[in-house]
A and B are shown apart, each in its own frame.
Chain A
């Protein structure tokens, strides 16, 4: 199964939820997904198209468009096609369904995206900070308008 048939199969299965599909090369395909159906799409990808390897999941902040993109980069152990799946969320209240039930290692990626971007994952088993201390929660340091960066308190550098 090559990249074109995969993307066709995905868009025929989810005509409403998946849009903006694009074939970058024979190993890279791109698609956008409605946030509410991301779990169904991921389940389909894993079951039917053997996309069983979640490479990474992260957020990208676009303050100009008032959007936060949650990007899923999904690969496979069987073939070398990589799908970049994007869900676009509003910046004021980003909420999305968790995919931990489908991809186990999404657990930490989602915890990290939560503490760095403030994306709230619904039905996540244990949504708490992973890399930052508890008291930094709520600062969302990887958003573009974060105030505490650069942190130039080192006196010997002034």
Chain B
């Protein structure tokens, strides 16, 4: 449901802009490097267990693997999260809900396709109810293969994402 656009000029004494002038300017300067350093060290991911990989997702965030030490913290609300982990087959019924979760997340945001189901369909690629080619719907930055991948693989995936953010090559932000 789109909120109706307010006519900005009608609010007296307030200057509002619908363009990201400041952030567009910052992107050209060295300050963006500092911003990216901050962003890459606080990748909060959203717990959205959608299948077998969801179990490994839960384990990764908890005591034994303890991703908190890298600043990677599980969050339950999409409003708090920076990283959406697609951790399983996306079905035709679930795709609208997943898109909505993605839209609720504030920018800058990234996507990790975790497990074979999210990457190519995995064992369920021929099913009548799954949605194929999820990478065309979401701007996926990192693919973590495996069925399901181990927790270490997810941590490695996060490292790859950090490297991409540092090199300004991630798909979440336009440089």
Contact = CB atoms under 8 A, between A and B. Distances in A.
Direct contact of A and B (CB under 8 A): yes
Interface of A: 131-133, 136, 139, 141, 146, 148-157
Contacts of A152: 125-126
Given A150-B126, A156-B120, 18 more contacts: A132-B93, A132-B129, A133-B92, A133-B93, A136-B92, A136-B129, A139-B128, A141-B129, A146-B128, A148-B128, A151-B127, A152-B125, A153-B132, A153-B133, A154-B121, A154-B133, A155-B132, A157-B125
Contacts of A148: 128
Nearest to A141: B128
Contacts of A136: 92, 129
Interface of B: 92-93, 120-121, 125-130, 132-133
Contacts of A157: 120-121, 125
A154 B125 contact: yes
Contacts of B130: 151
Contacts of B127: 149, 151
B92 to A, nearest CB: 6
Contacts of A139: 128
Contacts of B93: 131-133
A118 B72 CA distance: 47
A155 B92 CA distance: 17
A157 to B, nearest CB: 6
B109 to A, nearest CB: 25
Contacts of B132: 151, 153-155
A43 B148 CA distance: 45
24 contacts: A131-B129, A132-B93, A133-B93, A139-B128, A141-B129, A146-B128, A149-B126, A149-B127, A149-B128, A150-B126, A151-B132, A152-B125, A153-B132, A153-B133, A154-B120, A154-B121, A154-B125, A154-B132, A154-B133, A155-B132, A155-B133, A156-B120, A157-B121, A157-B125
Contacts of A156: 120
Nearest to B93: A133
Q: Which of A136, A146, A156 has the most CB of B within 10 A?
A: A156
A81 to B, nearest CB: 35
A148 B92 CA distance: 14
A145 to B, nearest CB: 13
Contacts of A133: 92-93
Nearest to B122: A154
Contacts of B120: 154, 156-157
A154 to B, nearest CB: 4
Contacts of B129: 131-132, 136, 141
A151 B126 contact: yes
B83 to A, nearest CB: 23
Nearest to A134: B93
A149 B128 CA distance: 6
A146 to B, nearest CB: 7
